[in-house]
A and B are shown apart, each in its own frame.
Chain A
Amino acid sequence: MHIAVCIKQVPDTKNVRIDPDTHTLVRQGVESIINPFDLFAVEAALKIKDENNARVTVVTMGPPQATEALRDTLGLGVDDAVLLSDRAFAGSDTWATSTTLSAAIRKMGDVDMILCGKQAIDGDTAQVGPEMAALLDVPYATFVKKIDLLDGNSIKVIRQTDEGTEVWKLPTPALLTVIKEIGEPRVPSLRFKMRAKKAEIPIWGAADLGLDTNCVGLCGSFTQVVRVFSPPRRTDRILIEGSVEEQVERLLQYLKQSRVPGI
């Protein structure tokens, strides 16, 4: 079984600053991390590998520095990594990203399962997974918290939605986006880390993927980010303190005073 995991490098939000003038993220000097949800996807793949005869390949699209993120996943026990890097990929929106990633999956040829994090913590769109599934014409399930292999050709997954839990059976190949309940990411092992240090990571560009440069990057994007801003801070907040009972009492009083309908 061959599992492909798509990951993304994102700015470490623990240390993110907002430029007071432009209201955009200050990316300079901010360390990059692997999108935390993607680490859950890597963990999900490695868990399957722990108990089955499976090969795990991690793929990311990004600048050459993104090899470091790939190397980190090799340290966790991932078998292979591929970097998709080309000047033509710059400025990709989710559609262009999905186009590029799905071309890479197609190039790998034998992928039985594609795993992604449920969303990236920088863009928060949660679009790339489902878009890839559409482009690859495979079934998909989002917000997956458990994966069971059935026979060679199908899987059973448990989805966590706002309404409750759903159990789905999907034929493979299939694409899944996973949530943190899938399991805490493991720590690296020394042997894998040593191997990762020496590993050769292939770089695939637009030509390697057979992609027209007009279909990727900024040219291949349907959306453009015109402006990024923080919503204005609301100042009319009050903090209710005290025991739970007191808090409920005060909240009710406040709602009554504010003439909220239904109270």
Chain B
Amino acid sequence: MDYFLTEEQKMIQELAAQIATEKVRPSRAKLDENDEFPWEIMKTLAQADLFGLYIPEEYGGMGGGIFENCLAVEQLGGACIGVATTFAASGLGAYPILLFGSEDLKQKYLPQIASGKRLAAFGLTEPGAGSDVSGIKTTAVKDGDHYILNGSKQWITNGGEAEIYSILAITDRSKGARGASFFVVETGDPGFSFGKKEKKLGIRASATRELIFQDCRIPKERLIGREGMGFIVAMKTFDKSRPGIAALGVGLSQGALDLAVEYARKRVQFEKPIISFQAIQHKLADMATKTEAARALVYSIARFMDSEPNDVSKVAAMCKMYAADVAMEVSTNAVQVLGGYGYMQDYPVEKMMRDAKILQIYEGTNEIQRNIIGQELNKEYGRMKDTFF
């Protein structure tokens, strides 16, 4: 399919594909087996200028948008979404600063993130607060020129490896949904430490760790936006980042499809390549169609979002939810096409299937995405005066 990419977009795609093929593919099994953080690959991505795709040029980025970032993430995700998640999570950590940070915060942190010299991370989830963000307990109390943070964050992607963290904390519990705020916390800030590193089903190259704040004292200028804007910052950040997760799903689906088709053409049973059997053909046909449908959806939504429309929550949720479900289905079916070989760790599809599951869970579960879509439909149709009957 030709998606009519610009020369520049093709270049991004090519470069990311080259890194995926030359650097990620050969090391993914080892990274997965050893729970190893992909520092070497991150350095390569930094040197290739890919960390700053969506960051404006004035802050050291390449001045592209969500779509350009999706193109890179998709290619990396085709080889390993553990590696690609590590890359994408730095963007998730950067968005609060990019969207709502003061000029000083932008000047200080965005060039470091854009150059890949330092990784960023996003800290929202807590033991008691996942889908229900209002349940967070971490607090930030103003003390003169400082804020003092107390509490902990759970399952933070890039935790312990990133050096710049966007953290959500309660600044005024009495204000409910308007009582939370985002802050930048840096590795080395007094009172900021890391808990245990999690062992996971998939995306084992990505680091997932607990963040602990014990009287963590940060300068008051590290507040992102204004006090009380925390939930808005979180929602707007997710709107921007969800197409990236969708692109991971498209990449993973394509990667699994490529392996399944290549295998089906070579694997001979009953004296024929198994691709000659309709049972296999139909499976591959569905896998290919859904992968392309997911790609078309992600690309068109990412392009739409780059036109800076007002309300994007619904479409951002749609592409994340759909591409994640497709990735789960396609990778599961790729294992089926490869049969016993697919189940063995000697072939990469079992890892893809293990990895795919997280796409339906993180950055808002697919259930939450459906909630958002449903609520937005209700609002949208509520505003209409005409009837369709």
Contacts and interface: CB of A to CB of B under 8 A. Distances in A.
Contacts of A193: 11, 15
B104 interface: no
B146 to A, nearest CB: 39
A190 B19 contact: no
Interface string A177-191: 000000000111111
Interface in B11-56: 11-12, 15, 18-19, 22-23, 44, 47-50, 53
B48 A188 contact: yes
Contact of A197 (B7, B23, B53, B62): B7
B380 interface: no
Contact of B50 (A186, A190, A197): A190
B8 A194 contact: yes
Interface in B249-275: none
Interface centre among A190, A193, A194, A197 (most CB of B within 10 A): A190
Interface residues of A, number: 9
A231 to B, nearest CB: 31
B18 to A, nearest CB: 6
Interface in A209-260: none
Contacts of B11: 190, 193-194, 197
Nearest to B46: A189
A194 B10 CA distance: 11
B-side interface size class: 10 to 19
B8 A188 contact: no
Interface centre among B11, B12, B18, B53 (most CB of A within 10 A): B11
B8 A186 contact: no
A187 B18 contact: yes
Contacts of B15: 187-188, 190, 193
Contact of B49 (A186, A190, A197): A190
A191 to B, nearest CB: 5
A193 B50 CA distance: 12
Contacts of A186: 44, 47
A190 B62 contact: yes
Given A193-B11, A194-B8, A194-B11, A187 B47 contact: yes
A187 B18 CA distance: 8
Contacts, number: 32
Contacts of A191: 49, 62
B62 A189 contact: no
A197 B53 CA distance: 18
Nearest to A196: B11
Nearest to B72: A190
B50 to A, nearest CB: 7
A192 B290 CA distance: 36
Interface centre among A187, A191, A193, A197 (most CB of B within 10 A): A187
A187 B22 contact: yes
A190 B48 contact: yes
Contacts of A187: 15, 18-19, 22-23, 44, 47-48
B22 A189 contact: no
Nearest to B18: A187
A188 B22 CA distance: 12
B84 to A, nearest CB: 16
A145 B7 CA distance: 37
A189 B8 CA distance: 12
A114 B8 CA distance: 33
Nearest to A186: B47
Contacts of B12: 190
Contacts of A189: 47-49
B273 to A, nearest CB: 23
Contacts of A197: 7, 11
Contacts of B44: 186-187
Nearest to B45: A187
B23 to A, nearest CB: 7
A193 B15 CA distance: 9
B308 to A, nearest CB: 23
Interface string B138-155: 000000000000000000
Interface in A150-167: none
A190 B11 CA distance: 7
A193 B10 CA distance: 11
Nearest to B8: A194
A197 B14 CA distance: 14
A249 B18 CA distance: 45
Nearest to A188: B15
Contacts of B23: 187
A190 B62 CA distance: 9
Contacts of B8: 194
Interface of B: 7-8, 11-12, 15, 18-19, 22-23, 44, 47-50, 53, 62
5 contacts: A186-B47, A187-B18, A187-B22, A187-B47, A197-B7
Given A187-B48, A190-B11, A190-B49, 13 more contacts: A187-B15, A187-B22, A187-B47, A188-B15, A189-B48, A190-B12, A190-B15, A190-B48, A190-B50, A190-B62, A191-B49, A191-B62, A194-B11
The 5 A-B residue pairs with the shortest CB-CB distance in the complex, in nearest-first order: A190-B49, A189-B49, A189-B48, A191-B49, A187-B48
Interface of A: 186-191, 193-194, 197
